[in-house]
Amino acid sequence: MLNDHFWPSIYPGIIVGVLIGFATGGIVAVLTGTLGGLVGSVAAYFLTAWLGLEESAVSLAILIAGACAGGYLGAQAGARLTRRRAS
């Protein structure tokens, strides 16, 4: 199931996660956003492989949506963790 498209598919997850983390603010948000974006893109890769959409533009849209969702959730968790530790 891990073919030549797996490794290039995780790069958008890392990039999107970093961007969302920077937009949220803080180093912890960047790190957790990156991790969340990575998890989201890997999950989206396996979803598109399961659906049989590996070689289509729909797979790219699903990959970016998964990375955005994972990055957002990760960055929000990191920001919440930082606020909780500060108080």
pLDDT by residue (tens digit) across 17-35?
999 999 988 899 999 999 9
Domain limits, the chain: 13-81
The answer on pLDDT for 1 being more than 90 is: no
Q: What is the mean pLDDT of the chain?
A: 90
Check: pTM over 0.85? Answer yes or no: yes
CB 75 within 8 A of CB 24: yes
Residue 14 has pLDDT above 70, yes or no: yes
Residue 7, CA distances (Å) to 14, 45, 50, 80 in order: 11, 10, 17, 30
